[in-house]
Each structure stands twice: as structure tokens, then as C-alpha cells.
Amino acid sequence: MATEEKVGVVTDYYAKIGVAAIRLADGALQVGDTIRIRGHTTDVTQPVESLEVEHAPVQRAERGSEVAVKVGERVRKHDEVLRVAT
């Protein structure tokens, strides 16, 4: 059974490039993690294939960072970002 741990919240979404800006208020995130973005009309589960902090690619971002993550579907401001642990 997979468990989910809240790591942050979506602060913005850029539709043209399919990128979510996420504030990591509750935990760290790294490339290879599986995330679930959940909100009123959103429920997306996907692997983190790339992470950027201030337009620079990183492998891992710590709690307190603002990161950009490529997403496969539209997400919205204030959606919760959860890390899925199997």
C-alpha cells in the first residue's frame, strides 16, 4: 500500500510549457520521486522527471525551496503536492 506525504503546494501553473511552480513547505523532493497533485478538480500522479530551482536543473530540492516541475496535465494554484512512497 502506498503512503502519501504532503511536501508542498502549487503556487503557479504555466500552461504553454506545462510546468507547475511548487513551494516545498513540508518536505523535500528529488528526481525519481512519484508525486500526486490533488485539488478540487485536479488529481495527477506522475514521476518527477526534472526539477529546477531558479531556472537551474537540480537533482534534489529541500524543504523551503521554490521549484519548477514539468507536469503532464493542467494543475491549479493551491493544489496539494504529495510524495507517494511505495
pTM of the model: 0.94
Average pLDDT, the chain: 96
Where residue 60 sits, what CATH number does that domain have? Answer: 2.40.30.10
Q: How far apart are CA 18 and CA 6, in angstroms?
A: 22
Backbone φ and ψ for 60, nearest 5 degrees, come out as -150, 140
- CB contact at 8 A, 76 and 42: yes
Give me the pLDDT at residue 86, please.
76
Give me the pLDDT at residue 32, please.
97
Range of the domain at 81: 3-85
Per-residue pLDDT tens over the stretch 61-77: 999 999 999 999 999 99
Task: Tell whether the model's pLDDT for residue 2 goes beyond 90.
Answer: no
Total count of domains within the chain? 1
Per-residue pLDDT tens over the stretch 14-33: 999 999 999 999 999 999 99
Identify the band that residue 51 occupies on the pLDDT scale cut at 50, 70 and 90: very high
Give me the pLDDT at residue 33, please.
97
Tell me how far CA of residue 35 lies from CA of 80, 84, in angstroms. Answer: 10, 6
Cα Rg of the chain (Å, integer): 11
Angle, CA of 55, 56 and 60, to the nearest 5°: 120
